């Protein structure tokens, strides 16, 4: 919010001006904002940095929930955030490479659904307990095709850091994450290498089965360990 906006807002609330106390449009606007923001958790057309902040704040929240809310609780908590901050369809297309266009629309949809579950499960599994970790954004650059590259560090309890690089693209006016690179290892490169290899040797049905197995394995591990 700019300086003028801040002054207007503070006058409206703390000094009890005419606008703040009497204007029904202003008050209903505030109420609407208060009602809507906890549901969606974000405004439309978020800036790239805001997308990363939202994801990372949600991950810390999920970690704090830890074993108390369990894997299922973290999954439910993170699902809208992960799906709202990642451009899963673009990730899916690139991960399947030339095989994407060979699939029927139904097959593409089923793959998107599985990939979404796998992505949320991955976050809910890795960020499963809080021991004082925190994120810090290091830099924000503009890359090829106007993409944003946001570099960030995850500070662990023992003082070690994991450097993370988020690559975001803009489509339909919305910024979303298309790749995450953790300590030099690109999530998109991993997925693409794995999925295209399975598609070339065993085909779509096998790929779907292996992703389903992976999802089940993650879930079962946390159920067994009570985490």
The Cβ of residue 192 has, within 10 Å, a number of other Cβ atoms equal to: 16
- Considering only 143, 157, 216, 223, the residue that binds another protein (CB under 8 A) is 143
The least distance separating another protein from the CB of residue 193, rounded to whole angstroms, comes to 5
The least distance separating another protein from the CB of residue 23, rounded to whole angstroms, comes to 40
Tell me whether residue 48 is exposed, middle or buried, using C-beta atoms within 10 angstroms of its C-beta: 0 to 12, 13 to 18, 19 or more: buried
Query: Contact between 125 and another protein (CB under 8 A)?
Result: yes
Residue number with CB closer to another protein (20 or 62): 62
Tell me whether residue 15 is exposed, middle or buried, using C-beta atoms within 10 angstroms of its C-beta: 0 to 12, 13 to 18, 19 or more: exposed
Question: Of 135, 192, 137, which is closest to residue 168 (Cα–Cα)?
Answer: 137
Residue number with CB closer to another protein (20 or 114): 114
Query: Contact between 189 and another protein (CB under 8 A)?
Result: yes
Q: Which two structure tokens, joined as six digits, stand for 146?
A: 């106007």
- Considering only 35, 185, 224, 226, the residue that binds another protein (CB under 8 A) is 185
Query: Contact between 5 and another protein (CB under 8 A)?
Result: no
Side-by-side strand order, sheet with 134-142: 134-142, 148-155, 161-171, 174-182, 185-186
Residue number with CB closer to another protein (63 or 149): 149
Distance CA 164, CA 149 (A): 10
Residue number with CB closer to another protein (103 or 149): 149
Candidate segments 11-19, 67-75, 102-110, 172-180, binder of another protein by CB under 8 A: 172-180
Sign of the dihedral through C-alpha 19, 23, 26, 32: positive
Which positions lie near another protein, rule CB under 8 A? 90, 93-94, 97, 122, 125-126, 143-145, 147, 149, 163, 165, 167, 169-172, 178-179, 181, 183-186, 188-190, 192-195, 197-198, 207, 210-211, 214, 217-218, 221
């Amino acid at each position: 919010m700019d300086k003028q906006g801040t002054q207007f807002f503070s006058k409206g609330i703390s000094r009890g001006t005419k606008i703040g106390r009497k204007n029904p449009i202003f008050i209903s606007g505030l109420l609407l904002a208060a009602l809507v923001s906890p549901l969606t958790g974000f405004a439309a057309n978020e800036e790239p940095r805001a997308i990363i902040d939202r994801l990372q704040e949600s991950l810390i929240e999920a970690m704090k929930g830890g074993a108390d809310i369990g894997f299922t609780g973290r999954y439910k908590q993170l699902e809208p955030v992960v799906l709202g901050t990642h451009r899963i369809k673009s990730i899916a297309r690139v991960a399947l490479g030339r095989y994407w266009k060979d699939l029927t629309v139904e097959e593409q949809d089923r793959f998107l659904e599985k990939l979404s579950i796998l992505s949320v499960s991955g976050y809910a599994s890795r960020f499963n307990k809080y021991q004082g970790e925190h994120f810090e954004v290091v830099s924000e650059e503009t890359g090829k095709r106007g993409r944003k590259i946001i570099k960030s560090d995850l500070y662990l309890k023992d003082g070690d850091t994991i450097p993370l690089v988020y690559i975001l693209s803009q489509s339909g006016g919305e910024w979303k994450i298309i790749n995450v690179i953790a300590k030099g290892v690109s999530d998109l490169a991993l997925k693409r290498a794995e999925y295209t290899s399975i598609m070339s040797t065993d085909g779509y049905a096998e790929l779907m089965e292996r992703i389903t197995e992976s999802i089940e394995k993650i879930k079962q591990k946390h159920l067994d360990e009570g985490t």
